[in-house]
Amino acid sequence: MPQSLLEQLRKMTTVVADTGDIEAMEKFRPQDATTNPSLITTASQMPHYQPIVDGVLMDAKKELGDGASDKNVANLAFKRLAVAFGKKILAIVPGRVSTEVDARLSYDTQATIAQARELIKQYDDAGVGRDHVLIKIASTWEGIRAAEVLEKEGIHCNLTLLFGLHQAIAAADAGVTLISPFVGRILDWYKKDTGKDFHGADDPGVQSVTRIYNYFKKYGYKTVVMGASFRNIGEIRELAGCDLLTISPQLLGELESTREDLPRKLDPANAKNLQIEKINMDKATFDKMHAEDRMANDKLKEGIQGFSDALVKLESLLAKRLAELESRTPTTV
């Protein structure tokens, strides 16, 4: 009987856990882990992570002083919370954790650089080596320019919310460490736009990642490809051999319990022999390709808005939790 799909996948692809749930990481023992604002918001509401949240809140309160408003404390705490989860995660995974810059800064190069430096300083202060951290930034032109600066400073970046070849090429030209093309969200868009369902190699999300992977390997880019946002294990099977795949605990469980042969679909040696046109990427070309790609345009906007909304929700939850903690703290006369 063949090994599980998960065991076979690990032989050709680095498996990353797409979750903020530390217990799930302990179960599946991925090489790396990635989080985003939605996942952190969900995890922070789980009772067994309350001590992490409470500790971060009280530290933020202490840092800002008694006169600080709950809103300001919550705003500082959310910047600290992702790193607090990141440090916990790195006690489990041997590789890297991705920590995301505030999505509301996605079109502001300088603000993105400043917050990325702030995040990496927290990891530096905690004694976490930079080789264990990826700073996640949305794949806007402004975000890619920020990543170019950060990479030169030795701050490794993960360009997320990536839906089109133009975003991938711009990121690779900028020398970023890793990109995260979103398979499932691309599928969602095409299903809604066409009214059709897609399976296997016909899945437009699978086709997008395959195109990006082959382009990178053909032209010898060092940037690695991490397929993300999967809807089913069929998509994962079609991308076996991709540099990395970040997978939810539910789909990791399905892969672990399925015992069938898993052939390699993506291979750098094969990509070298493909006829692929080289695209010289500048801002004008990027803007033109982005405007012509309705799917990438829609999903990038939607993704930034979704992550921004999750952060607003998280700040509100933190402010509420802080008020609860303060109401329990006895005042001294």
State the catalytic residues.
136
Angle, to 10 degrees, between the axis of helix 283-292 and the axis of helix 294-328? 90
For tokens 């975003």, the residue is 167
Residue 269 structure tokens: 């040696």
Instruction: Give the number of other Cβ atoms within 10 Å of residue 91's Cβ.
Output: 9
CB 92 within 8 A of CB 128: no
Burial of 99 (0-12, 13-18, 19+ CB in 10 A): buried
CA distance 83 to 314: 15
Element at 178 (helix H, strand E): strand 178-181
The number of residues in the chain equals 333
For tokens 């969602």, the residue is 188
User: Which ranges in 183-248 belong to alpha helices (H)?
Assistant: 183-194, 204-218, 233-238
Angle, to 10 degrees, between the axis of helix 204-218 and the axis of helix 165-173? 30
CB 176 within 8 A of CB 147: yes
Residue 196 structure tokens: 């059709």
Instruction: Give the number of other Cβ atoms within 10 Å of residue 200's Cβ.
Output: 10
The three-class DSSP label of residue 136 is strand
Kindly calculate the radius of gyration of the chain based on its CA atoms and give it in whole angstroms. 20
The three-class DSSP label of residue 56 is helix
- Distance of alpha carbon 237 from the chain centroid: 20
